[in-house]
Structure 1
């Protein structure tokens, strides 16, 4: 697998996916309003957390074991495990359906039963493809699901299906993406084996806690607790702020998901030198968008929420700024956490994730009740920073953690220069419309990359990557 080309391909695919998701979120926010959008987000929260329970760490175990040996028993054993988990979760949904409906705000618990199955099948297919080093194909499956969700969901909302239209869209988009993805798998569906079941359970039991942090599941813990203590409108405002902040993680997540199977393959071969060599550049590349985006978000956060999504979402401005700052430790952890799992140290990753949970839940409960959604942001960023620090400590026992200090300083200085010029721009042009806001954001990006590429060090790095991606240039 050509890592640079795959990262570029996955990043491009996820960029398209993000654009569709962003447009969809804006449309749904404007058409449904904060309260109804909050109901759907709580449905998503329940679906995501129930998916975690149905997973129990098996998803990453599938990718890990297939990347090592591509054994046919892996897929059959994984499906057997997941089926048993799904049966148990389905019984719980039926028993507690009234409580779930009260929490969501509409009678939608029965749709959770329907949505779980295609959701889990899509994840299994994507992990299998990634284990086969077909990371781009897996990204395409995700792209299809996201694009179809927005298109189908927008159609249902347009014809006044409301929240249920978005629920139908989740189910339908997952089913279609499963159909696309299954034809790209080479791994045979073999009979489950006792040895493989033990292997998956061993890795999964340690990885279960780690997966809360190293997948999107942790995104929903604070949303879950906001739904318990505040209103659906608060849920929607916070989730919009979270989605805006998460956009800057696009490159980091593309890198993390691309390198995992390759590092796992190198580790199985005992090739620690290659793993060590790829780390420094991977870290700085994962942060190259994060720093300027934080600066831009601090300056224009309120305007983004107000003019793009609507005035009722502007209450999340402070939370947005805090969440943006939290993307620094998250960007680092996205890389280091995947390295730790890829070298088969899921037990240590679970310890770091355990620290996140121990801090996150009580901090959220206390701070949400004291300062609302801003408290949720503080709790999440604080607990994630502690998780990142512990992950770095553990990984340093196996790999010498290094980062290119020169490139880091150049990135920080370029971001600061962009921020200063944007503040000067604000004294000349008053941002009071979407057009002016988009112009200011575009200008900020131009300023940042102009400063960044004025450095010969960064320019040579970028040109080297482009040359690898497009050999005929």
Structure 2
């Protein structure tokens, strides 16, 4: 399956996931504010952070080695054995600190927490195997289930009377379903583990694990710090803001996920020019979406928070804008980091990740007590930007990285036109309903698309993508 076709399938899956996710966020936000979503997000954050020692980069190492054409059965079996050892060790730590975990999460959750960790790691391992088999498109359904199970099953359980734990149980059900589907889909057969292969996985995984420390710090540490210093409502409001802005980086995430195994195989063949072309074209569509989204948030950010979710979340409006600025850096970062790993230089991703993770931790601890949600967003935005710059420098040492400056400049112009159009409409109508909010968003999208298509370079890139998909 080609890169574009795999990317389209994964993008459609992520768009569908986001749509269902937003419906769930809106439903539970209006239903209970942060009383249900707050603890749920804290458990998600805890699972993400705890997954670092429970995985130590083994998932990515399995994906990498299989994509390189190494004996897939031996790679998978060796990876499973390593995962069992790591999960057992992590389980002992969770059991030892169970009272602290229960105290932080606000209930007797440690056993559910560890079960979720095991199910999560099994599900993600199967997804990694399919990616290593260059079947990224086949993970689309699994990604959809992973991202929406807490909504679908959470809603069903809530209607049955299981209120407080409904989204959490829904999340676990989703992991079980992904594992079953993954087991049925993978073409790799199980074999006997190999000590040499285990060493190879550890050699690659140790760098990827440290880089994942940075990623999970960027994604979840601010939630954990907010949960410690502030309330469940603050946790819910911040995570809702995070997920609103995350929609704008769906394309960048899909592209980076899709190109990783392909760049990996190209690297083995030393096809440098092709890799440079993939990286350049991967950056273009990301910028075309993220830049106008920032301009739109500046105008209607407060209405998105209050009308689509909860009136209680209005205090997160400044954090929403800052997080949107962060997404510009993240769009480039996701491409740079995955490309470096695919070029077999995970140690460089690790170096930048460790440096900026430390910066992020320090900034969050200092800024959250002082400035609340805006402080958390600022800490993450600053550290993310530094990380993107460092990884750009590293990647430039191996290939020529061409930033599409002209297209980005044209996007700024078109975004300015969009900003003026929706600002004018905003003066004419009061946005007090979901219908009016959707209407003004459509006005913004239409004005931006009409403006951006005046660029012949942009039209050429769109034609290239469409042609590639057809072929």
Provide TM-score, normalisation by structure 2. Answer: 0.97
SS in 2 for 1:372: helix
Question: How far off is 1:144 after superposition?
Answer: 2.3
The aligned residue for residue 101 of structure 2 is 100
- Structure 2: how far apart are the matches of 1:70 and 1:294? 43
Question: How far off is 1:127 after superposition?
Answer: 0.4
The aligned residue for residue 292 of structure 2 is 292
Aligned positions of 1:2-151 closer than 5 A: 2-71=2-71, 72-151=73-152
The aligned residue for residue 325 of structure 1 is 325
SS in 1 for 2:107: coil
Q: 1:227 to 1:148 in 2, by over 3 A?
A: closer
- Structure 2: how far apart are the matches of 1:420 and 1:212? 41
Query: Does the aligned pair in 1 maintain the 2:360–2:380 contact within 8 Å?
Result: yes
Question: How far off is 1:380 after superposition?
Answer: 0.4
The aligned residue for residue 212 of structure 1 is 213
Q: Say whether 1:446 aligns with 2:446.
A: yes
Deviations 1:265-297 (A, max 9, x none): 101122222111222221112221101111111
Aligned positions of 1:394-409 closer than 5 A: 394-409=394-409
The aligned residue for residue 433 of structure 1 is 433
Q: 1:464 to 1:401 in 2, by over 3 A?
A: closer
The aligned residue for residue 173 of structure 1 is 174
Deviations 1:3-61 (A, max 9, x none): 12222221111111111111111112122321332111111111121122211111111
Query: Does the aligned pair in 1 maintain the 2:150–2:168 contact within 8 Å?
Result: no
- Structure 1: how far apart are the matches of 2:297 and 2:171? 30
Query: Does the aligned pair in 2 maintain the 1:70–1:132 contact within 8 Å?
Result: no
- Structure 2: how far apart are the matches of 1:167 and 1:267? 41
- Structure 2: how far apart are the matches of 1:285 and 1:324? 17
The aligned residue for residue 164 of structure 2 is 163
- Structure 2: how far apart are the matches of 1:31 and 1:159? 15
The aligned residue for residue 468 of structure 1 is 468
Q: Which runs of 5+ in 1 are unaligned?
A: none
The aligned residue for residue 372 of structure 2 is 372
Aligned positions of 1:238-387 closer than 5 A: 238-387=238-387
Question: How far off is 1:330 after superposition?
Answer: 0.5
- Structure 1: how far apart are the matches of 2:246 and 2:335? 15
SS in 2 for 1:401: coil
Runs of 4+ in 1 over 6 A off after TM superposition: none
SS in 2 for 1:163: coil
- Structure 2: how far apart are the matches of 1:62 and 1:179? 19
Question: How far off is 1:217 after superposition?
Answer: 6.0
- Structure 2: how far apart are the matches of 1:206 and 1:251? 26
- Structure 1: how far apart are the matches of 2:450 and 2:378? 33
Query: Does the aligned pair in 2 maintain the 1:355–1:386 contact within 8 Å?
Result: no
Question: How far off is 1:70 after superposition?
Answer: 4.0
SS in 1 for 2:312: helix
- Structure 2: how far apart are the matches of 1:54 and 1:142? 21
- Structure 1: how far apart are the matches of 2:269 and 2:185? 26
| Larger CA deviation: 360-369 vs 68-77 | 68-77
The aligned residue for residue 186 of structure 1 is 187
Root-mean-square deviation over aligned CA pairs: 1.3
- Structure 1: how far apart are the matches of 2:225 and 2:372? 11
- Structure 1: how far apart are the matches of 2:14 and 2:246? 12
Question: How far off is 1:399 after superposition?
Answer: 0.9
- Structure 2: how far apart are the matches of 1:444 and 1:92? 50
Deviations 1:333-370 (A, max 9, x none): 01011111100100110001011111000100000111
Deviations 1:414-450 (A, max 9, x none): 1111011111111111212221111111111111111
Question: How far off is 1:234 after superposition?
Answer: 1.0
The aligned residue for residue 412 of structure 2 is 412
Q: Which runs of 5+ in 2 are unaligned?
A: none
